[in-house]
Structure 1
Amino acid sequence: MSLPQASGFAMPPEWAPHQRTFIVWPIDDTTWPDELDEVRQAYARVAQAIARFEPVTMVVLPELVEEAARICGPSVDILPMEYDDSWIRDSGPTFLKNAAGELAGVNWQFNAWGNKFPSELDNLVAPQLLDHFGIRRFDAPFVLEGGSIHVDGEGTLLTTEECLLNKNRNPHMTREELDAQVRQYLGVEKIIWLKKGLCGDHTDGHVDNVACFARPGVVLLQVCSDPEDPNYAISRENLEILRQAVDAKGRSLEIIPIEQPPALYHKGVRMAASYINFYFVNGGIILPIFGGECAETDRQAEAILARVFPDRTIVPIESRIILTGGGNIHCATQQMPK
């Protein structure tokens, strides 16, 4: 079977119009032993916020359908399915589109961020979703998570070496092999390799906490101004890589820095708190904020996004409770293009 790029398919940028958003209802009481009810309320708030802009489908365990429907309300569609965890950015399909507007999806291999958690059911979520919606499927023979990639829609992809080249993902593949495979499955010509993700990120440095395209040629980068913080060296190195990079069209990149929130901890462990983990919706942006000691950086992040995206409504959502599970709003969502 021919690969997506050879078949004329490519991943659209996240800001391209969406048909709908997928989210998965939280069930993991090992991640959230005491917080599960609160986390579900937060997921419902995210789903309701997105539903102001576009249709939302919440994937829910069959036995929890009534409860999820009650908490989420009538604006959110419910789709019963079995799964392990609630991070559909990584376990779900990555959608592609061709010049005729036809959709396809990549079914990546998913091993729960290097076999850190059970993933047998999560690895079946993408094919089930694609089959349910009757969308053409490309089965990728290697491990990749949606949170580890961002595209500009014009041939350029951002990722991190820490995640994509990690031996707990594809130990049998070299960087050159992975580079070629990723380009073929996502229809991109150029990969910009950042080094590391944030300190405390158990996904091994997903790029969706570090940097993303605002539009072709423009990158938002979370930075750290405290030399004592481990993220200081990480963000400096990534900034330097981006300054020297050119995209698939040969452009130098405009880099817009966003200061990270103050260090946040959960049960004594540093969390990967990021404003870059926002989610584009049709006509808006759903922005994770953290409240409390983060009020000032929350305000700054919202102001920067309002300036960068004057045509979009910025919707800040207090999501520190979601972050305690290791991810945030971008990790919990997956867009299906129009």
Structure 2
Amino acid sequence: MPTRRTFLQHMSVVAGLGAAASFGLPFASASEAGRWFMPDEGEQQQRAYIAFGAQDAIWEDFTEDVQAALGRIARAIAAYQPVTVFCRASERDIAEEECGSHNITYVETELDDIWMRDIGANFVVDDDGALGAVDFNFNGWGGKQQHRYDAKLAARVAKLAGAQYQQSELVGEGGGIEVDGHGTGIMTESSWINSNRNPGWSKAQVEAELKERLGLRKIIWLPGIKGKDITDAHVDFYARFAAPGVAVANLDNDPDSYDHEVTLKHLEILRNATDADGRKLQVHTMSPPLKPRRSKFNEDNPDFAAGYINYFVINGAVIAPQFGDRSADEQARALLVKLYPGRKVVQLDIDAIAAGGGGIHCVTNQCPAI
């Protein structure tokens, strides 16, 4: 099947720059952006979002399996907080069957795919309790996949949330952003400083815009790797903050994987890094399973994304994957229990989504409580 980590060429014209006008949203100018900051994912959330947008043109025979996996994720989150599920009008019944009705709100809209982290709004708040939503102009990860509808979703989400819409001049995705909520971010150069998104932008210019829009004082740059997956190595498959000064790094122990050397380099950088307040990072490692269960999803599929680090932190819980490798699944669960005390770790089978190169964090997004 054509996966998310395969360079799809279903190109379409991006209408994102006109999205704000079409939804009648209030704009925040660049000069206003500096007063906003992106909170840590672990802060109290108002709700989560899911895009129930799998389609045969992309997922082929896996579409129904992906829908079922999205349903499991939606139900798991809804046990702890409200969830908004975006779905096509023609698939409302299927979405309701898979995701249920408890704590779920359905919004009908056209969609291209399922990657809510990348196509949704990037929420920010200010000290006065206002809610903002930054749009980084989704362009299909550098023009690799159809995105006519998904490019408009951030503006739609901003309006539904009652947030002040902020449109950056940068192109990027939410999966490329990791913050601690206290002024430090982790990003990969491969996904932000890339001519397929931001031609002509220097690293200094990209960093300045990200700092201004997200309220950051320091960005820890990881090299990532270009061209190996459709995202050009989003940070949410490589490094996460568990708390200010505490990071989790993906460490691929398979020497035959291209990510082996990449993750070793990232680990070295993180272990030598300090945050915006000058603290040396405490770094934990989280390794993918070496023996995931065999299925149609990973058979002859080198792009199967068996990564535990792509978990989602919500109110009272951490929603994480399991891959049928008992030892590795338990090690991941134990580390998450340690890193997120007071939250229940809920592990789910998301193999169908992993077949497309993504995980739980990739298909979710959140609006902070204000």
TM-score where L is the length of structure 2: 0.87
For 1:198-213, what aligned pairs fall within 5 Å after superposition? 201-213=229-241
Unaligned runs of 5+ in 1: none
Partner of 1:273: 306
Task: Report whether the alignment pairs 1:144 with 2:172.
Answer: yes
Shift of 1:37: 1.1
Please state which structure has a larger fraction of its residues in strand. 1
- Call closer, same or farther: CA 1:290–1:200 in 2, change over 3 Å: farther
- Tell me the distance in 2 between the aligned counterparts of 1:134 and 1:270: 38
Alignment of 1:33 with 2:60, yes or no, is yes
Is 1:45 paired with 2:78? no
Q: Which string of whole-angstrom CA distances, capped at 9 and with x for unpartnered residues, describes residues 204-262 of structure 1? A: 10000111000000001111234343222111100111122111001100000112222
Partners of 1:263 and 1:4 in 2: how far apart? Answer: 51
* Structure 1 residues 22-45: Cα deviation after superposition (integer angstroms, max 9, x where no partner): 000033213311111121111011
SS in 1 for 2:86: strand
> Residue 251 of structure 1 is aligned with which of 273, 279, 294?
279
Q: SS state of the match for residue 61, structure 2?
A: coil
Judge conservation of contact 1:221–1:256 (CA < 8 Å) in 2. Answer: yes
Tell me the CA shift for residue 196 of structure 1: 1.4
Name the counterpart of 1:9. Answer: 36
Contact 1:5 / 1:185 at 8 angstroms: preserved in 2?
Answer: no
Which residue does the alignment assign to 2:23? none
Kept in 1: contact 2:176–2:191 (CA 8 A)? yes
Shift of 1:263: 7.4
- Supply the distance in 2 between the matched residues of 1:62 and 1:54 (Cα, whole angstroms): 24
Q: 2:267 aligns with which of 220, 239, 243?
A: 239
Residue 240 and residue 44 in structure 1: after superposition, are their counterparts in 2 closer, same or farther (change >3 A)? same
Q: Residues 304 and 198 of structure 1: is their aligned pair in 2 closer, same or farther, counting only changes over 3 Å?
A: farther
Correspondence 1:183 to 2:216: no
Cα offset for 1:197?
5.5
- CA gap 1:49/1:174 in 2 versus in 1, 3 angstroms: same
For 1:201 and 1:100, how far apart are their aligned partners in 2?
Answer: 40
In structure 2, do the counterparts of structure 1 residues 287 and 20 end up closer, same or farther at CA, with 3 Å as the change threshold? same
Amino acid in structure 1 at the alignment position of 2:131: L
Q: In 2, are the aligned partners of 1:223 and 1:258 still within 8 Å (CA)?
A: yes
Q: Deviations over 1:132-167 (max 9, x none)?
A: 332110011221100001000110000111111122
1:270 is paired with a residue of what secondary structure?
Answer: coil
Pair 1:78–1:314, CA change in 2 (3 A) = same
RMSD over aligned CA atoms reads 1.8
Aligned to 1:307: 338
Which stretch of structure 1 is more off in the superposition, 35-44 or 3-12?
3-12
Cα distance in 2 for partners of 1:87, 1:44 equals 14
Choose from 159, 174, 183 the match for 1:155: 183
TM-superposition CA deviations, 1:295-326 (whole Å, max 9, x none): 32111101111122221100000111111122
Q: Which residue of 2 aligns with 1:316?
A: 347
**What is the match of residue 329 of structure 1?**
360
The CA deviation at 1:5 is 6.3
Unaligned runs of 5+ in 2: 1-27, 293-297
Conserved 8 A contact 1:162-1:196: yes
Decide whether the 8 Å contact of 1:198 with 1:210 is kept in 2. Answer: no
User: For 2:305, what is the secondary structure of its paired residue?
Assistant: coil
2:120 paired with 1:87: no
Aligned to 1:229: 257
What TM-score results when the alignment is normalised by the length of structure 1?
0.95
- By how many angstroms is 1:120 displaced? 1.6
Structure 1 CA distance, aligned partners of 2:291 and 2:169? 37
What corresponds to 2:322 in structure 1?
A: 289
**Percent same amino acid among aligned pairs?**
37
Structure 1 match to 2:83: 56
CA distance in structure 2 between the partners assigned to 1:198 and 1:223 by the alignment: 18
Alpha-carbon distance in structure 1 between the residues aligned to 2:47 and 2:275: 29
Given the superposition, is the C-alpha separation of residues 196 and 43 from structure 1 closer, same or farther in structure 2, using an over 3 Å criterion?
same
